[in-house]
Structure 1
Amino acid sequence: MFNIRSSRTAVTAVALTAAAALALTGCASGSGDAATTYDPDEKVTLNFAFWGNDVRAAMYDEAFAAFEEEYPNITVNSSFLGFPEFWEKRQTEAAGGGLPDVMQFDYSYLRQYSQNNLLLDLEPYLGNIIDTEPLSENILGIGVVNGVTTGIATSTNAWGLYTNPKLLEQVGVEEFAGGDWEDYDDWMKSVTDAGGGTVWGGTDYTGRIQNFEIQLRAEGSYLFNDDAEPGFDEARLAEFWESGVAARDGIVIPQQRLEEVYPLSGFDSALTASELTWDNFGAGYLGNLGADYTELGLVAPPVTEEGAKDLYLKPSMLHTISSKTDHPEAAATLLNFLVNSPEVGAAFGTNRGLPASTTQLEGAELDPLGEQIRAYEESIADRLGDAPPVPIVGFGTLEEKFRLIGQELAFGTLSVDDAVSQFFGEMDVVLNQ
């Protein structure tokens, strides 16, 4: 197990050439006629790649130990990176035709890699090597692109607001009681004022495209539809980034401070009292915060429009197989274990979100945080709408561009008008390539 730390600046360059890199592999093909059973006498080594941190790496170590005990002839070599660096490396490998045999995969990239024939068609293995009984039709449908199953969701999660009760007690501020985005700004300001330069209320939420998305959904729109058409114009994006000006001026944690603690965030460095993110991040946060922090708060994000169906359940991640793997049956065996095995459920709990497989959920033995996440997703039932389509080709590039622009806005090195111009320029390249 090793953790590769890549240059952050390299991400931008690779993101801009992602489509070109993938285009080079467009002639790659799937497995063709696939066997539906694994030969237990075949000695196989599989490469597995995931994004995460040392906490998740320890969980995978436990999972692989259980797998190799059950399948002693299969050896798993794994590696991990931070999220941006993970996709930088995958795009480089895609250009060279050398993707790992099995991968933890993000929904944002599923269409892009599937349409370029980089991922194995899993249909021949469903119902035999890959047990589908513990997976609902909705879950199985998540990994289908253009009628082909190329990924299996491990779990589901929802967008939420994590808080740090210990920090809030330390500064003497109550938990966020809910409300709209202005209410959230006011609450963050009260935390920052009370923190005296050592604790801040949160991070600039306008740097995350998901916060823009839930606002659009509340208004009856979307980021992109199935035809890759945006559901917003330049004026709406400018309005969103303008809404963060006041927060960036002394309310949220300074961007320079975030750079100093990277690859940790302000939240799991105990510098900020809240973070808008996917609810499966909780276990990683607690692991990074350390033994002094034993609980987190988890509440619904600010409201844009009362009664709107702005939230949705998404796959926190999927597992996929390279279309060029030399061992498709063994790779499918590993994928099935990682998705359905109770032992994997016991190892991960809710680190990857609430397990999508009933057999894995039974093995998870949810800890207090896991039960909290389950209760949270039940509590937001009235705000849950239909999930958006599988992200458009190039969405991962646009998401990363949005994040990088957010950093520049936070540093004050870019105006909102220039930020909008940059993003629409990038969007034009991605949507018309």
Structure 2
Amino acid sequence: MMFRTRTLLATAAIAATTMVVLAGCSAAGGAPAEAYDPDEKVSIDFAFWGNDDRATRYNDLIAAFNEEYPNITVNTTFTDFPSYWEQRQVEAASGSLPDVFQFSDSYLRQYGETGNILDLETVSDYIDFSTFEDALLGTGRLDGTQYSLPTGFSLWANFVNNDLLAQAGIDVPEGGTSYAEFNEWLASVTEATGGAPFGGTDYTQRIQVFELQLRAEGKSLYTEDGELGFTEEELTDFWESGAELRDGIAIPQQQLEEISPISGFGSTRTASEMSWSNFLGGYLADSGASSISIVAPPTDDPDAKDLYRQGGLQVAISSKTDHPEAAAIFLDYVVNSPKAGEIFGTTLGFPASSSKLEGTTLEGPDLQVAEYIESVEDRIGDTPPAAVVGYGSLEQKFWDLGKELGLGTKTVPDAVTEFFSEAQVVLG
């Protein structure tokens, strides 16, 4: 495998722990009253969001787990992402969360501040935290408490369809250029092809790009206290910077609406698109491209530490579980075992723990993502503060308003006012 494993092992780790508790629920958890019997036959519930492919992989993993722990029966349930969190919120309110469940860092503050998920330090004898870098552990840590651990991580990236560029006679853009230089490249593609394809999309629709620009200035989307970390003026400047993109450089929003849920890049109507690094496989499948390059996103500060390891998909334990030790043993197997790396590859994100990575075969798109992660190592900074309660709805609002700007149904001042009004409601 042509890859510097030592460096990747150093970059591939984040342990995120997340306690989920809704208002009105009392905190629970802690050391068990009785000594743990490792031979006792117990049954635990495990819930996850995903599809049939993910379910098959989990079934294979549980079969391997039971070869080592035949006394721990794992019962699984899964559904799609929106339905998944609706069910978890009902269970959190009634104190009946599954013993172990897939978690998201977007819900860390919401569930962690109310005590529905276990402090993993209380079961630290059964979980290996040493395989994770502290920055990755930080994605599941709130106020010094480790609530969840990540299965993998992603970095923000810029994808480019090499096939389309070759047809147009355009070179792949350099990574890490200024936003102005990247806009010039986007315009050159659109002009050369007459918009078939366009150079890219209006990236100012994505809150992640706004976040990178804030991080380059030493700021963040949210504060440690769970409040917005930016002003109306800063959001106004960001959305106004997208005016030239919306004025003929980027694909018109109306075209994107017509092909949704496939993206402009996935449908080959654009030559580039920014998203998370783990999207490479999906982009290859959607576009049918024989080759897609991953380059660093633009930045106006070459020395910025604006990128970060996003450990969105994590695993947590209910604070009300009757079997905290068995739950911890299974959680550790999911996030740390080489077998999990062998079975899942990078489908749950690029392996966050060094031990899981050891079992992962890096080839094809997986190796390409690994090489991209290594190439931008110098731009990776600290983990941002935990997302505010209601982050998911604010992220969606940001995107929806960006689309309205693209359609011309909303002005920038009106969009900014509406976003901050929504944030005031969400943040209380």
Common fold, TM-score beyond 0.5?
A: yes
Deviation at 1:62, TM superposition (A): 4.3
Change (3 A) 1:421 1:75: same
- Structure 2: which amino acid aligns with 1:410? G
Q: 1:194-222 CA deviation, whole Å, 9 max, x = no partner?
A: 55555333222112111101111222322
1:175 maps to: 172
Contact 1:107 1:318 in 2 (8 A): yes
User: Does the CA contact (< 8 Å) of 1:55 and 1:287 recur in 2?
Assistant: no
- Find out whether 1:430 has 2:426 as its counterpart: yes
Aligned to 1:411: 407
Moved more, 62-71 or 363-372: 62-71
More divergent stretch after superposition (402-411 vs 37-46): 37-46
Counterparts of 1:293 and 1:299, CA distance in 2: 16
CA shift digits 1:320-351 (9 cap, x unpaired): 12334454444323311110111211223233
Per-residue CA deviation, residues 100-125 of structure 1 (Å, 9 max, x unaligned), is: 44332222221221112122222222
Name 1:205's counterpart in structure 2: 203
2:283 equivalent in structure 1: 285
For the residue of structure 2 that corresponds to 1:227, the secondary structure is coil
Residue 58 of structure 1: CA displacement? 5.4
Letter in 2 for 1:322: S
Equivalent residue, structure 2, for 1:251: 249
Counting aligned pairs with the same residue, the percent is 46
Letter matched to residue 420 of structure 1: V
**Alignment pair present for 1:389 and 2:382:** no
Letter in 1 for 2:140: G
Instruction: State which drifts further: 119-128 or 135-144.
Output: 135-144
Q: SS at 1:314's partner residue?
A: coil
Matched ranges for 1:34-433 at <5 A: 42=41, 44=43, 46-51=45-50, 56=54, 59-68=57-66, 70-71=68-69, 74-82=73-81, 86-88=84-86, 90-91=88-89, 93-95=91-93, 97-128=95-126, 130-178=127-175, 179-196=177-194, 198-289=196-287, 292-431=288-427, 433=428
- Which range moves more in the overlay, 31-40 or 297-306? 31-40
- Superposed displacement of residue 133, structure 1: 4.1
The structural deviation recorded for 1:250 is 3.3
| 2:426 aligned partner, one-letter code | V
Determine the C-alpha separation between the residues in 2 that align with 1:404 and 1:382. 33
Contact 2:195–2:251 (CA under 8 A) maintained in structure 1: no
Residues 24-72 of structure 1: CA deviation (Å, up to 9, x unaligned): 4433533662778575663525232125x66655544543453455555
Q: Indicate how the Cα distance of structure 1 residues 262 and 332 shifts in structure 2: closer, same or farther if over 3 A, else same.
A: farther
- Structure 2 residue identity aligned to 1:350: T
Query: Retained in 1: the 8 A contact 2:227–2:388?
Result: no
Distance change (3 Å), C-alpha of 1:287 and 1:76: farther
Structure 1 pair 22–250 and aligned structure 2 pair: CA distance change class (3 A): farther
Distance 1:25 1:323, change over 3 A: farther
One-letter amino acid of the structure 2 residue matched with residue 155 of structure 1: G
Q: Show CA shifts across 1:228-265 (max 9, x none).
A: 34332111101111111222233333334434444443
In structure 2, relative to structure 1, the CA distance for the partners of 1:253 and 1:74 (3 Å cut) is farther
Q: Distance in 1 between matches of 2:159 and 2:21?
A: 36
Q: How many residues align?
A: 407
TM-score by length of structure 1 reads 0.82
Q: Relative to structure 1, is the Cα distance of residues 104 and 260 closer, same or farther in structure 2, using a 3 angstrom cutoff?
A: farther
Q: Distance in 2 between matches of 1:61 and 1:113?
A: 27
Matching residue of 2:29: 30
SS in 2 for 1:111: helix
Structure 2 Cα separation of the partners of residues 304 and 55 of structure 1: 40
DSSP 3-state at the match of 1:105: strand
Q: Is the 8 A contact 1:207 1:406 kept in 2?
A: yes
Contact 2:256–2:263 under 8 Å retained in 1: yes
**Secondary structure at the residue paired with 1:315?**
coil
| Letter aligned with residue 368 of structure 1 | G
Letter in 2 for 1:81: D
Moved more, 255-264 or 268-277: 255-264
Q: Is the alpha carbon distance of 1:67 and 1:261 closer, same or farther for their aligned partners in structure 2, counting shifts above 3 Å?
A: farther
Q: State how far apart, in whole Å, the 1-side matches of 2:34 and 2:196 are.
A: 59
The farther-off stretch of 151-160 and 336-345 is 151-160
Q: For 1:263 and 1:336, how far apart are their aligned partners in 2?
A: 35
Q: Which moved more, 1:330-339 or 1:188-197?
A: 188-197
Distance apart, 1:78 and its partner CA: 3.5
Between 97-106 and 395-404, report the one with greater CA deviation: 97-106
Instruction: Tell me, in whole angstroms, the C-alpha distance in 2 between the residues paired with 1:361 and 1:36.
Output: 33
Letter in 2 for 1:182: A
Tell me if the contact between 1:316 and 1:352 (Cα under 8 Å) persists in the aligned partners.
no
CA deviation vs aligned residue, 1:258-290 (integer Å, no higher than 9, x gap): 34444443333433322212212223333444x
Aligned to 2:222, what secondary structure does the other structure show? coil
Deviates more, 1:86-95 or 1:332-341: 86-95
CA 1:141/1:232 → structure 2, altered by over 3 Å: closer, same or farther?
closer
Distance 1:300 1:209, change over 3 A: same
Q: Would the alpha carbon gap of residues 77 and 302 (structure 1) be closer, same or farther in structure 2, given more than 3 Å must change?
A: same
Shift of 1:89: 5.0
Distance in 2 separating the partners of 1:270 and 1:363: 34
Gaps of 5+ in 1: 1-20
Cross-structure match for 1:17? none
In structure 2, distance between residues paired with 1:260 and 1:70: 51
Separation in 2, partners of 1:36, 1:317:
32
TM-score under structure 2 length normalisation: 0.83
In the TM superposition, what are the counterparts of 1:6-21 in structure 2 within 5 Å?
none
Following the alignment from structure 2 to structure 1, what is the Cα–Cα distance between the partners of residues 114 and 281? Answer: 34
CA RMSD of aligned residues (A): 3.0
